[in-house]
């Protein structure tokens, strides 16, 4: 099959799907039913200049179809997934197809029970969170039984057990977990409030136990690993204080280099939300908290807990060159974010208002010293190694009903050796800005322009980025952008990474067809990242909520 | 290269013609499933409690603090909300899918921008999953009976006019 034939096949399939999904009758499922589907396909052309590898299949495709049925008391659903074969960057162990997600849930007044796969989070997820992030290939749902009981108003007990999903099978570890959540300000008996508080006060506690047989001939590994967490949240009209403490017994496994130290985590945040002013201050300390239902798992596989970094999520293209990922074996982080609006009509605020966000985050090592091959001593002091620092300012201004702009300036310190587990790069200090303008030409057409520059001393040098997006009707997006590594110290590597795409949106359906030469990088969504290798080729993305 | 340009031109023409023929899409008249969300103070609230006020149409807007098009959409709607509310009684409910990394930022984020929407947290994406949402922003319009009469994903300037048409229809 030639690449032209493949391309025309992809386009024909896409256009057929658009036509099918545009039919109103198709979108009308029977009462109580809901469904969605997603299809991602990409062709790969080897490109040695940018290190885009050859792919034997030439075209890789993956997708899923999810269908749910709900009544007042009952809900059930399943998801069919197919990876033939997984896109580059998605774990190749997904290869194949099947129904890895199915569940039935009964919703009662005082309790609900789920049989099959479930997603659940205790507190901020420091000892337990099952979730899915399909764009990253993350799905650690729990296959088992979950029970939620509400014995009285303001109290909820959650208990569950099962095994976690690992690709099209289950992980080897068994998880048993429970959580108690008490809202003191909502405690009710026979619909009567037990007492009145002038603030919202919530207390919670959770336990998780993981069992995995151990047969190591040398190490005496714990077969049952126990973890607990407690939390407190206090909220007034304008203030919130949240604190969470987590502890895990020693849990030697591959990603913590068989450390026999126990793990612990502490998170604290306080926020103020006033009219036109918002402030968040947060601190977090993590020590050896990587927690998985398989000692041998690495990457994003079979994680039991969720440890997001305490840093801002940057979504502008160039900023994604240097994202931060939590170092679960030990980090100390702080973050502050101030958001305020300059009043409309004022000299600074302009006729339509201006919003300013100032964010600062710093993450460094914890103070620790090695005792022997398997243990270390850690104190509560921050260590001396800087992992990541981010100072950024974002100014959004509406100039008229048609024109909006956003100016963002970011100054980073990025310890590439630690974050990417490499040697010899040290700490890089990128300085970047983005100017984004959005202009509404008339009621149905618009133009978006994004210009960025990133100054980098060392590493791959300076980058420039330009994007133009034209929306001729509100359903169609024509997007062209180019990333240019014009400052690469190696002149022959000053590559352009162009991209062109057409996107069509109707109701709950979105179809995009494009061509891109994509640089290698890290794709992060929420707090989780995956490596995306360089590629050169056409892509088709379809997603639809029916 | 010429072939590529030809492909894209053809696709563009086809898409524009489809879009003009089918500018509006309706979905099945289903209700919002029963799912527990969190208020900004952390107190749980079910979707049934949240939507118990049936005095006017409701816009459910799924967003996150890191999603640029979502912020563009909500800041556009913030400018129009007063007028829309006065004319149709519509209530805009913004459902944040920010996870634990950012969920504590949501309250200062919206108050700092003077947005007056009702905002709730869907921290582990339970409602997002129950409504089969793959991408954000994703917007639903519910009529007075709580039925979904319109949905739209993504945002470009001008989409607010389509939303307004849907709200007016839902208010009838």
β-pairing, B118-121 vs B91-96, is parallel
A196/A250 Cα distance (integer angstroms): 42
ipTM score assigned to the predicted complex: 0.87
Measured in residues, chain A has a length of: 546
Contact A174, A211 (CB under 8 A): yes
pLDDT at A14 over 60: no
Q: Is A300 on the interface with B (CB under 8 A)?
A: no
Using CB atoms, pick whichever of B20, B30, B132 lies closest to residue A36.
B132
Q: What is the mean pLDDT of residues B56-62?
A: 95
Task: Identify the CATH assignment for B25-171 out of 3.40.30.10, 2.60.40.3470, 3.40.50.620, 3.20.10.10.
Answer: 3.40.30.10
pLDDT in tens, A165-191: 999 999 999 999 999 999 999 898 888
What is the rounded distance in angstroms from the CA atom of residue A391 to the CA atom of residue A389?
Answer: 7
At residue B9, does pLDDT exceed 60?
no
**Residue range A306-350, pLDDT digits in tens:** 998 899 988 888 988 898 988 988 999 999 999 999 988 888 888
Reported as a pLDDT band with limits 50, 70 and 90, residue A18 is low
Which whole number is the average pLDDT over B63-67?
A: 91
Q: How far is CA A442 from the centre of its chain?
A: 35
The label of the residue with tokens 């068989």 reads: A258
- pTM of the prediction? 0.88
Longest pairwise C-alpha distance within chain A: 75
Q: Tell me which DSSP letter residue A426 carries.
A: -
pLDDT digits (tens, 9 = 90+) for A419-453: 988 888 899 999 999 999 999 998 889 999 999 99
Average the pLDDT over A386-391 and give the result: 97
Report in angstroms the alpha-carbon separations of A541 from A62, A185, B165.
10, 47, 29
Measured CA to CA in angstroms, residue A449 lies from A403, A434, A481, B89 at distances of 11, 10, 10, 35
Q: Residue A9 corresponds to which tokens in the numbers above? A: 């096949």
Q: Quote the tokens at residue A244.
A: 């969470």
Q: pLDDT digits over A224-259, tens only?
A: 999 999 999 999 989 999 999 999 999 999 999 999
Give me the sheet containing B44-46, strands edge to edge. B44-46, B36-38, B118-121, B91-96, B58-63, B138-142, B148-153
pLDDT band of residue A395 (cuts 50, 70, 90) is very high
Residues in chain B closer than 8 A to A72 (CB atoms): 34
- pLDDT of residue A92 exceeding 50, the answer is yes
Task: State residue B12's pLDDT score.
Answer: 46
Residue B71 is predicted with a pLDDT of: 92
- Give the closest-approach CA distance of B87 to chain A in angstroms: 20
The position carrying tokens 């190591």 is: A216
CB contact (8 A) between residue B33 and residue A75: yes
Query: pLDDT band for position B15 (50/70/90)?
Result: very low
Q: How far is A516 from chain B (nearest CA, A)?
A: 12
Comparing alpha-carbon positions, the chain A residue that sits nearest to B134 is A543
CB crowding A170-190: b at 16 or more within 10 Å, else e: bbbbbbbbbbbbbbbbbbeee
Position B169 scores a pLDDT of 94
The partner residue sitting opposite A475, judged by closest CB among B19, B42, B105, is: B19
* The predicted structure's pLDDT at residue A19: 54
Nearest beta carbon to residue B158 from set A35, A38, A445: A445
Whether the CB-CB separation of A77 and A86 falls below 8 Å is answered with no
- pLDDT at B100 > cutoff 90: no
Chain-chain contact of B124 with A442 (C-beta, under 8 angstroms): no
Q: What is the mean pLDDT of residues A204-220?
A: 94
d(CA A75, CA A61): 30
User: CA–CA separation, A282 vs A540, rounded Å?
Assistant: 40
DSSP single-letter state for residue B17: H
B100 lies within 8 A of chain A by CB: yes
DSSP conformational letter for A544: E
Task: Name A36's bridge partners.
Answer: A66, A545
Q: Tell me: the pLDDT tens digits for A462-507?
A: 999 999 999 998 889 999 999 999 999 999 999 999 999 999 999 8
Domain ranges of chain B: 25-171
Cα separations (Å) of A326 from A365, A515, B101? 11, 32, 11
Residues of chain B with Cβ-Cβ distance to A120 below 8 Å are 124
Residue A401, pLDDT score = 85
Instruction: Name the minimum distance, in Å, from the CA of B89 to any CA of chain A.
Output: 23
Mean pLDDT (chain A, rounded): 90
Residue A8 reports pLDDT greater than 80: no
A-chain residue closest to B101, CA distance: A308
Which of A444, A477, A538 is the best substitution to test chain B (most B C-beta atoms within 10 A)? A444
Distance in Å, alpha carbon of A378 to nearest chain B alpha carbon: 25
Strand A431-440 versus strand A427-428 pairing type: unpaired
Distance CA(A317)–CA(A497), nearest Å, equals 12
Instruction: Report the alpha-carbon angle A294-A298-A300, nearest 5.
Output: 100
Cα of B169 to nearest chain A Cα, Å: 16
When pLDDT is cut at 50, 70 and 90, the band that residue A215 belongs to is confident
Which pLDDT band holds residue A1 (cuts at 50, 70, 90)? Answer: very low
């Amino acid at each position: 099959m030639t690449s032209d034939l493949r391309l025309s096949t992809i386009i024909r399939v896409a256009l057929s799907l658009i036509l099918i999904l545009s039919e109103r009758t198709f979108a009308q499922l029977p009462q109580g039913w809901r469904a969605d589907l997603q299809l991602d396909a990409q062709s790969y052309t080897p490109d040695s200049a940018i290190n885009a590898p050859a792919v034997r299949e030439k075209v890789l495709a993956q997708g899923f179809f999810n269908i749910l049925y709900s009544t007042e008391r009952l809900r059930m659903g399943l998801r069919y997934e197919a990876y033939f074969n997984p896109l580059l960057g998605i774990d190749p162990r997904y290869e194949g197809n099947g129904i890895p997600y199915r569940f039935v849930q009964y919703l009662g007044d005082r309790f609900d029970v789920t049989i099959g796969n479930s997603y659940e989070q205790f507190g901020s997820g420091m000892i337990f969170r099952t979730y899915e992030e399909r764009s990253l290939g993350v799905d650690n749902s729990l296959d088992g039984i979950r029970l939620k009981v509400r014995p009285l108003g303001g109290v909820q007990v959650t208990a569950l057990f099962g095994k976690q999903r690992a690709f099209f099978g289950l992980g080897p570890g068994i998880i048993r977990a429970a959580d108690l959540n008490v809202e003191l300000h909502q405690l009710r008996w026979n619909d009567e409030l037990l007492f009145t508080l002038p603030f919202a006060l919530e207390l919670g506690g959770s336990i998780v136990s993981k069992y995995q047989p151990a047969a190591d001939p040398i190490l005496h590994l714990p077969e049952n690993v126990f973890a607990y967490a407690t939390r407190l949240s206090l909220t007034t009209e304008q203030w919130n204080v949240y604190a969470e403490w987590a502890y895990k017994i020693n849990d030697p496994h591959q990603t913590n280099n068989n450390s026999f130290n126990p793990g612990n985590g502490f998170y604290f945040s306080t926020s103020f939300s006033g009219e036109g002013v918002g402030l968040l201050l947060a601190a977090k300390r993590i020590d050896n908290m990587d927690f998985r239902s398989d000692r041998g798992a690495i990457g994003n596989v079979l994680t039991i807990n969720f440890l997001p970094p305490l840093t801002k999520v940057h979504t502008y293209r160039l900023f994604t060159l240097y994202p931060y990922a939590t170092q679960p074996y030990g980090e100390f982080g702080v973050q502050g974010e101030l958001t305020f609006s300059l009043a409309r009509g004022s000299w600074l605020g302009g006729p339509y208002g201006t919003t300013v966000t100032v964010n600062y985050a710093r993450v460094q090592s914890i103070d620790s010293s090695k005792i022997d091959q398997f243990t270390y001593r850690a104190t509560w002091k921050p260590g001396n190694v800087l992992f990541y620092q981010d100072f950024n300012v974002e100014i959004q201004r509406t100039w008229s009903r048609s024109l909006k702009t956003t100016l963002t300036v970011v100054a980073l310190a990025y310890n590439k050796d630690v974050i990417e587990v490499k040697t010899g790069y040290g700490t890089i200090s990128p300085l970047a800005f983005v100017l984004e303008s959005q202009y509404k030409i008339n009621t149905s057409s618009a133009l978006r322009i994004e210009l960025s520059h990133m100054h980098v001393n060392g590493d791959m040098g300076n980058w420039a980025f330009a994007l133009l997006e034209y929306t001729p009707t509100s359903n169609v997006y024509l997007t062209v952008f180019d990333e240019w590594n014009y400052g690469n110290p190696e002149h022959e590597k000053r590559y352009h990474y162009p991209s062109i795409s057409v996107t069509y949106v109707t109701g709950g359906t979105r179809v995009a067809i494009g061509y891109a030469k994509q640089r290698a990088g890290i794709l992060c969504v929420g707090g989780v990242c995956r490596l995306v290798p360089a590629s050169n080729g056409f892509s088709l993305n379809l997603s639809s909520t029916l | 290269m010429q072939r590529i340009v030809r492909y894209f031109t053809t696709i563009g023409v086809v898409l524009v013609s489809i879009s003009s023929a089918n500018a509006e899409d309706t979905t099945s008249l289903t209700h919002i499933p029963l799912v527990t969300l969190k208020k900004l103070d952390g107190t749980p609230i079910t979707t049934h409690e949240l939507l118990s006020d049936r005095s006017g149409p409701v816009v459910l807007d799924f967003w996150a603090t890191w999603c640029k098009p979502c912020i563009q959409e909500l800041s556009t709607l913030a400018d129009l909300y007063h007028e829309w509310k006065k004319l149709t009684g519509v209530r805009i409910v913004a459902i944040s899918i920010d996870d634990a990394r950012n969920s504590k930022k949501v309250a200062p984020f919206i108050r700092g921008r003077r947005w007056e929407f009702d905002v709730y947290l869907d921290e582990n994406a339970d409602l997002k999953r129950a409504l089969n949402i793959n991408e954000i922003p994703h917007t639903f319009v519910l009529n007075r009976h709580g039925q979904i009469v319109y949905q739209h994903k993504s945002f470009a300037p001008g989409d607010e006019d389509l939303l307004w048409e849907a709200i007016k229809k839902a208010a009838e």
